[in-house]
Amino acid sequence: MSDIIEARFCNAQRATLLQRRPSTIIDAVESFHPAVPMQFYGGGELHLVGSYRMGTKLTGSTRTVLIVDTDVLLATSAIPTVTVEDFDAESWSLWSKASKEAFQKATTAAKAAPSATAPLRVKRLAALQAALGLSTSDLAQALGLSRPGLYKWLDTSSDVKLRGASLERLAAVERIAKQWRERSTAPLSSVSNEPLADGRTVLAMMIADQVDEAAVVGAFDELLAMLAVKPKTRSQKLAEAGFRRRPSAKSLLSDE
C-alpha cells in the first residue's frame, strides 16, 4: 500500500478505480504495470484524475505516462496538470501529494455540503426506475452511463450536474418511461427483453447508442399484448389460492 495517499477512511465512492481507492490508483501507477491501458476515475465530484498508458498514440513511445484531465471540477482543481513532456519522478511526487490533498478536501466538502438539487435528481431517477424496472446495469446503459456513473447520479451527496448529451438522453428515456407508465402499472422490464415481431427487443433498442423513441413507443402495444398473456408467477398463484405472506414485524406499527 502506498503511503502517499492513505486509504484509511477515504470514501471509496468518491475516489474509485473500478470501485477501489485513491491509494490503488497511486499503487497502480507506481507499479508501472505495462499490460493494459487504464483510466482512473473518481466518483462524486472527482472526474477523470489520471490515465496511464503504455505505447499509445498519446506518447508515441513505450514509456509510461500520467496525464491529468484539466477539465476537472472545482473540487479537484488543486491537482496540477502533468504532461508527457515534463513527467518525471519529481512531478509524479508533486502530483500525488496534490492529489491526496484534493481528494481529502473534496471528500470533506462533499460530506459537509451535499447539493440541494441532489434529492430532486435522485427522485427523478427513482421515478424512472419505478416505471422501467430495469436492472441497474440496464438502466445505466439506457442512460449512456457506466454502472458506477449511475450510482454517482443516484448519490444524494454527489453534486454531479446533468448536462449536454447526458441530459438529453435522460430526457428521452424519461419520455419513453412516461409513455409506458400511461399504459401499464407493471414495469417495462416485465417484457422489455421479449423479442418483438421483427426480432428486436425493446431493451436492445433502449440501450443502443441512439435511442429511437418513436420505435420504442411504437412497440408498446405489442408489449402490452405480451404482458396480458404472461404466465402467472408462483407468488401470484399462491396469492390467488388464498396463501398470503405473513406481515413482518415492522408492520406492527408504533402506537405513537
Partner 1 sequence: MPLGEELKDRGWCTGAVVPQGMLPAIAQHLAPPGAAAVEVAEADWLVVVSQTCDVVARTLEAEPFVEVLHCKPIKKPRTQYRDFRSTRILDFRPNRETHEAVALTAHAVADRYLVPRELLRDQTPDGNRHLSSKAAQRIMAWYALRAGRPSWPDAFVKRIDKDSEDALEAAIEPLKEDIAEVRIGIAEKDQELGDDQTYHVAVYFIVDAEIWEGDVEGRVAINTAFATFVSKLNGCDGIEVDQGLSEVVSGDEFTWQETRATDEWNFANLSHRE
Alpha carbon distance 126, 131 (integer Å): 9
Stretch that binds partner 1, among 51-59, 131-139, 199-207, 218-226 (CB under 8 A): 131-139
Q: What is the identity of the amino acid at 86?
A: D
Alpha carbon distance 227, 234 (integer Å): 16
Alpha carbon distance 112, 108 (integer Å): 6
Q: Does residue 235 interact with partner 1 by CB under 8 A?
A: yes
Pick the closer one to partner 1 by CB: 12 or 28: 12
Smallest gap, in angstroms, from Cβ of residue 57 to partner 1? Answer: 31
Select from 77, 93, 108, 156 the one that contacts partner 1 (CB under 8 A).
156
Question: 48 - beta bridge partners?
Answer: 41
Pick the closer one to partner 1 by CB: 74 or 126: 126
* Cα of 124 vs its chain's centroid, Å: 15
Select from 151, 160, 176, 211 the one that contacts partner 1 (CB under 8 A).
151
Stretch that binds partner 1, among 31-39, 77-85, 150-158, 162-170 (CB under 8 A): 150-158
Select from 63, 111, 161, 237 the one that contacts partner 1 (CB under 8 A).
111
For 26, residues 6+ apart whose C-beta sits below 8 A from its C-beta are: 2, 4, 5, 96, 99
Q: What is the identity of the amino acid at 116?
A: A
Contacting partner 1 within 12-41 (CB under 8 A): 12-13, 19
Stretch that binds partner 1, among 28-36, 76-84, 144-152, 214-222 (CB under 8 A): 144-152
Q: Does residue 226 interact with partner 1 by CB under 8 A?
A: no
Pick the closer one to partner 1 by CB: 47 or 124: 124
Residue/partner pairs of 33-37 with CB below 8 Å, 24 or more apart: 34/64
- 3-state DSSP helix/strand/coil % of the chain, to nearest 5: 50, 5, 45
Smallest gap, in angstroms, from Cβ of residue 150 to partner 1? Answer: 8
| Grid coordinates belonging to 5 | 495517499
Select from 126, 167, 171, 225 the one that contacts partner 1 (CB under 8 A).
126
Q: Does residue 190 interact with partner 1 by CB under 8 A?
A: yes
| Grid coordinates belonging to 237 | 398463484
Backbone angles phi, psi at 53, to 5 degrees: -135, 160
**Pick from 180, 74, 70: nearest CA to 131:** 180
Select from 86, 90, 240, 256 the one that contacts partner 1 (CB under 8 A).
256
Q: Count CA within 13 A, CB hemisphere, residue 97.
A: 6
Contacting partner 1 within 40-59 (CB under 8 A): none
Contact residues: partner 1, CB under 8 A: 7-9, 11-13, 19, 111, 122-123, 125-127, 129-131, 133, 135-136, 147-148, 151, 154-158, 181, 185-187, 190, 233-236, 239, 247-256
